[in-house]
Structure formats: C-alpha cells, structure tokens
Amino acid sequence: MAAVDLEKVLDKAWADKSLPEILSAPVAALKGVSERDGELLREAFGVRTVADLARLKYVRWAQALAALEESGA
C-alpha cells in the first residue's frame, strides 16, 4: 500500500479532504500546479481532475520507464 504525506503534495485547502474529493479535484489542488497549468493540461490532454492526471497514459508510460531505470533494466 502506498503512503503519501498529503500536506506535501496538496495545497492547504485540499489536505484535509477525503480521497474521493481529492481525486475529483482540479489538478491545481496539487502543490506546485497553478490554475494556468491546469488549463494547459486540459487543453493538451483533456485532463480536468487529479484522477484524470493519474490515469493519463503518458504519465503511466513515464512512470514505467523510470521504474525500469530504478530496477537496473
């Protein structure tokens, strides 16, 4: 099971929300992601929510490549 310090990855306004609320939140709920970044992600990839970003195939591909590197493949 993954553990995440929500205060490190979310803006203050979202740190006390439930997981379903966070996943349905706009990507700007993530610390360091601006409203404009969110607009650009929507325009480029159709990403509207944190869940959309997590499920974006390009994000998954990049994570898989990074995992391969970490494993020494």
pLDDT digits (tens, 9 = 90+) for 9-65: 999 999 999 999 999 999 999 999 999 999 999 999 999 999 999 999 999 999 999
Confidence (pLDDT) at 1: 56
* Helix, strand, or coil (residue 49): strand
Q: Name residue 68's amino acid.
A: L
Q: How confident is the model at residue 2 (pLDDT cuts 50, 70, 90)?
A: confident
State the burial class of residue 50 (Cβ atoms within 10 Å of its Cβ: 0-12, 13-18, 19+). Answer: buried
pTM of the model: 0.88
Rounded distance between C-alpha atoms, residue 13 and residue 32, angstroms: 13
